[in-house]
Amino acid sequence: MKIRIGQGYDVHRLVEGADFWLGGILVPHTHGAIGHSDADVLIHTICDALLGAANMRDIGFHYSDQDAKYKGIDSKILLKDVVKMLREKGYEIGNIDATICLQAPKVNPHIPAMKKCLAEVMGIEEEDVSIKATTTEKLGFVGKKEGVAAFAVALITK
Ligand SMILES: [Zn+2]
């Protein structure tokens, strides 16, 4: 069996009044992330980790932010497509471990719903999707509530 690992990193700006899509769910908050798609930083990070593990470039390569087709798109559609591309190459997902960096709101209460949602989208067990959250102790753009960042690693097998 071949085992491969990939990592992902993504950042989105936070603005007042925007919807806050995170980990496939809508998080109630005064501010939300903005971008060309629905700006779901966690899903984008996971897509990049999976694509990286398979050496298939990155999310921007497959779904250009210059393409009107992806304007406002639900990132779950992109993740589903990434997983489909991996499976077509003969890969299966082993596990995913992700960290969300966000000053506010508290993410922990939403993690079970995110895990359930993302496991469903990827067609894997919830047990194989780990989501963690941290603030940055009020330091940097995350700490100043200007943005949200996320990291992920993914393990895939063939
Ligand atoms: Zn993104």
- The alpha carbon of 1 and the centre of ligand 1 are apart by a number of angstroms equal to 32
Q: What mean pLDDT is reported for the chain?
A: 97
CA atoms of 114 and 120, how far apart (whole Å): 10
Distance (angstroms) between ligand 1 centre and the Cα of 11 equals 6
Closest to 32 (Cα-Cα) out of 115, 100, 105? 105
Instruction: State the distance from the centre of ligand 1 to the C-alpha of 41, rounded, in angstroms.
Output: 5
Query: How many whole angstroms from 146 Cα to the centroid of ligand 1?
Result: 15
- As a whole number of angstroms, the distance between CA 120 and CA 130 comes to 14
Rounded to the nearest whole angstrom, what is the distance from the C-alpha of residue 10 to the centroid of ligand 1?
5
pLDDT digits (tens, 9 = 90+) for 17-39: 999 999 999 999 999 999 999 99
pTM above 0.95, yes or no: yes
Segment 61-109, tens digit of pLDDT:
999 989 999 999 999 999 999 999 999 999 999 999 999 999 999 999 9
| Interatomic CA distance for residues 47 and 150, integer angstroms | 12
> Is there a contact between 64 and 75 (Cβ–Cβ < 8 Å)?
no
Ligand 1 center–CA 12 separation, angstroms: 6
Q: How far is the CA of 60 from the centre of ligand 1 (A)?
A: 9
Q: Ligand 1 centroid vs 155 CA: distance in angstroms? A: 20
How far is it, in rounded angstroms, from Cα 59 to Cα 64? 8
What lies within 8 Å, CB to CB, of 26 at 6+ separation is 19, 20
- Cα of 63 vs centre of ligand 1, distance in Å, is 11
Hey, what are 45's tokens? 């990070």
- What is the whole-number distance in angstroms between the Cα of residue 120 and the centre of ligand 1? 20
Computed on alpha carbons and rounded to an integer, the radius of gyration of the chain in Å comes to 15
How far is the C-alpha of 119 from the C-alpha of 52, rounded, in Å?
Answer: 19
CA of 47 to the centre of ligand 1 (A): 10
